[in-house]
Structure 1
Amino acid sequence: MFRSLELSRMAQAMATHAAKRQSVISQNVAHADTPGYRAQDVHPFSDVYGTTPDRLTLRTTHEGHLPGRAAPGFAAGLRAVDRSAATGNVNGNSVSLENEMVQAATTRLSYETALGVYSSLRAITRAARGG
C-alpha cells in the first residue's frame, strides 16, 4: 500500500516535470528568431526527483501554528542548453527548431508514461477495493 503511494507521488512528479519541460520547450520555439536568445531546458527528472526539502519554512504568526510539510516531488531548475551547433545561427540564438521538436516528442512520451503508471495504480486500487 505504501509503496503504491510512493509510485503515485512519483508518477505525479514525473507528469509535472514533463509539463514544465513542455512549457520551456514551447518558450524556446517562440523565441527561435530572437537575436541572442539562449535556449533553456529543465534538469533531467532522474537528477531532480526527491530534491525538495522535507520541511517548509513557514512564517508562523501564532504560537499554535504547526510546521508545514512539503509534498515530495522535484525542484525543476532551468539550465541553458545549446542545441544549435548543427545549424550555426549567426544571430547568437541557440534554438534549433528541429531539436526542439525532438525534445517535445520525447517529453510527450514521458508524460504519457507517467499517466500510464498513474492509471494502472488507480486500476489496481479499484480492484483491491472490490470495485
Structure 2
Amino acid sequence: MAVTDLPILGMLRTKMQWHQARQKLIAENVANADMPGFRPRDLAGLTFDRATGEPVGGNPGLARTSESHIVPAGTEAPGADPRRFKGFEIRPSGNGVNLEEEMMKAGDNQSDYQLAASLYQKSLDALKIAVGKR
C-alpha cells in the first residue's frame, strides 16, 4: 500500500476535487448572470461514510469518456442541485442568479479548498517525519 493511499489523504483529495467542481459551477453561474432564463446550480454537499472513508452519494472524480456525457449549461446534471427560488430573486427575464450570493459562495469555497489543501500538506509532512525523511 502506498503512503498516498491512506484514507485521510484520499478523503482530502476527494474534498479538493469536489471544491474544484463546485468552483466551476459557481463561475458558470456568474458568467451566465445576464442570460435570460438561466437558473443557477450548485453541487450537493459532500459527505463521507465514517466506516470506509468513501464519499456517499456518488463519485465526484468520474472521468469524462465522451463529449455527449456533458450536460449543456442550464439543464439538470448528475450531482447538481438546483436551488429553490423565491419570487423576488428571479428577474423579469427569468434569470435567477444573485451575484452577491455567488461571490459569497466562491469565497467560502476557496477558503474550504485552501483548508483541505493545507491539511493534505500537513498530513504528508507528518508522514515524512514519521518515516525519518525530514
Cα drift, residue 95 of structure 1? 0.5
Q: Tell me the equivalent position of 2:127.
A: 125
Identity of aligned residues (%): 27
Cα drift, residue 86 of structure 1? 5.5
Cα drift, residue 51 of structure 1? 3.3
1:85 and 1:22, CA in 2 relative to 1: closer, same or farther beyond 3 A?
farther
1:127 and 1:115, CA in 2 relative to 1: closer, same or farther beyond 3 A?
same
Cα drift, residue 45 of structure 1? 1.5
Q: Which of the two has higher C-alpha Rg?
A: 1
TM-score of the superposed pair, with normalisation by structure 2 = 0.71
Number of aligned residue pairs: 108
Aligned equivalents of 1:124, 1:84: Cα separation in 2: 48
Gaps of 5+ in 1: 54-75
Aligned equivalents of 2:89, 2:118: Cα separation in 1: 36
Aligned equivalents of 2:23, 2:87: Cα separation in 1: 22
Cα drift, residue 84 of structure 1? 7.0
Gaps of 5+ in 2: 49-53, 60-77
After TM superposition, where is structure 1 displaced by more than 4 Å over at least 4 residues in a row? 82-88
Cα drift, residue 52 of structure 1? 3.9
Report if the CA contact (8 A) 1:82-1:95 is conserved.
no
Aligned equivalents of 2:129, 2:107: Cα separation in 1: 33
- Say whether 1:81 aligns with 2:61: no
